[in-house]
């Protein structure tokens, strides 16, 4: 499976609810802002909170709005694709949203 196939056939179908997509977007953007702030404010230790800031909103979005019993709520433990593909796919989905290439459905 290629990343493109994964993104189109696995990742996007699991991200249809606009509230869940918004939660993912807030995590991606908030996590990036946190890292930039941490280094700009000379508090690099705060960058260690990036995984929580990045992932938690998306996991909460899945738990509240887009449950999938077959996949489960804790998607970081999945083995159907490399873990870093989920990270990249989150960023790509937000990038697609910002440039108008992904709809809120």
Q: Could you state, in chain order, the average pLDDT of each consecutive group of 10 residues for the chain (105 residues)?
A: 92 90 95 96 95 90 78 62 88 91 61
The pLDDT value recorded for residue 47 is 94
Distance CA 2, CA 89 (A): 12
Give the C-alpha separation, 55 to 24, whole Å: 8
Whole-model pTM?
A: 0.84
Residue 81 has what pLDDT?
Answer: 81
């Amino acid at each position: 499976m290629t990343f493109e196939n994964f993104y189109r056939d696995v990742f996007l179908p699991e991200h249809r609810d606009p509230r869940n997509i918004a939660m993912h977007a807030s995590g991606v953007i908030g996590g990036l802002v946190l890292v930039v702030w941490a280094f700009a404010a000379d508090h690099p230790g705060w960058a260690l909170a990036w995984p929580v800031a990045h992932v938690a909103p998306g996991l909460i979005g899945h738990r509240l709005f887009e449950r999938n019993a077959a996949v489960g709520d804790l998607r970081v433990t999945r083995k159907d694709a490399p873990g870093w593909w989920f990270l990249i796919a989150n960023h790509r989905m937000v990038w697609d949203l910002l440039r108008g290439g992904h709809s809120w459905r």
